[in-house]
Amino acid sequence: AQTVTQSQPEMSVQEAETVTLSCTYDTSESDYYLFWYKQPPSRQMILVIRQEAYKQQNATENRFSVNFQKAAKSFSLKISDSQLGDAAMYFCAYRSRNQGGKLIFGQGTELSVKP
Amino acid sequence: EAGVAQSPRYKIIEKRQSVAFWCNPISGHATLYWYQQILGQGPKLLIQFQNNGVVDDSQLPKDRFSAERLKGVDSTLKIQPAKLEDSAVYLCASSLVGARQETQYFGPGTRLLVL
């Protein structure tokens, strides 16, 4: 069974600085998807960025980028130029390409942004 | 485009009572998911529908939880009887079948407190 681990329960960053959130996963599959979701205090889960395992190029979305290391089974999220609105719980998630659509989530990392 | 709608937003019940949650997915999304998110944890899939058929209910406690999606659109999730450990946020998500990566879009969730 696949598992996702986020080893940082809490992280803090100064506004305008850069922060990296860590995620590792375990799977025996070679083809899958990885996601980072953001969950603000209002509880609505929002997709931040996604990565397809067969793509070597790291995904980027404006200030958000990932460092995908397939061999190490690592998928970290880098937030550049942090803004107050980035404060939220961030979840790393795995989805198999071949075994249905369910997302397997990590435990989450709560990010606070200091003005 | 309207997002995933859920109601009620909050519910407080006593143990052994029954409760029902409602979800309306994004128009045209054939796949619907119910996740349970216990405080401090990542969401866990309870059940996945494609149209009105069940794709995955392996983690649904079937002795007390039930879900239906009769016309392939709206869905209801029921708990009867509720236990203290059912206190959680229940998230509904939907996705478009066939879309690349089948990104899941989440509703605001229903926060359940069982006393």
Mean pLDDT for A97-104 is: 81
**CATH code, B90:** 2.60.40.10
For residue B15, the enclosing domain spans 5-114
Query: Cβ(B104)–Cβ(B94) under 8 Å?
Result: yes
Which amino acid is present at B23?
Answer: C
Query: Cβ(B68)–Cβ(B75) under 8 Å?
Result: yes
pLDDT in tens, B18-64: 999 999 999 989 899 999 999 989 999 999 998 889 999 999 999 99
Q: Predicted confidence band at B98 (pLDDT cuts at 50, 70, 90)?
A: low
Contact of B26 with chain A, judged by CB distance below 8 Å, is answered with no
Show Cβ contacts of residue A71 under 8 Å, excluding neighbours closer than 6 positions. Answer: none
| B70 vs A108 pLDDT, higher one | A108
**CATH code, A87:** 2.60.40.10
Q: Predicted confidence band at B2 (pLDDT cuts at 50, 70, 90)?
A: confident
Window 67-106 of B: residues touching A by CB (8 A cutoff) are 89, 91, 93, 95, 101-106
For residue A15, the enclosing domain spans 3-114
Query: Cβ(B76)–Cβ(B6) under 8 Å?
Result: no
Cα-Cα-Cα-Cα dihedral of A31, A33, A34, A40, to 10°?
-160
CA distance B54 to B49: 5
Predicted local distance difference test score (pLDDT) of residue B99: 53
Q: Predicted confidence band at A98 (pLDDT cuts at 50, 70, 90)?
A: confident
Predicted local distance difference test score (pLDDT) of residue A23: 98
Provide the number of structural domains found in chain B. Answer: 1
pLDDT in tens, A34-87: 999 999 987 689 999 999 998 889 999 999 999 999 999 999 999 999 999 999
Q: Reduced to 3 states, what is the DSSP secondary structure of residue A108? A: coil
What is the chain A residue with the closest CA to B106? Answer: A45
Mean pLDDT for B70-84 is: 93
A52 contacts B104? CB cut-off 8 A: no
Provide the number of structural domains found in chain A. Answer: 1
CA distance A89 to A44: 11
Closest CA to B21 of B75, B62, B63, B69: B75
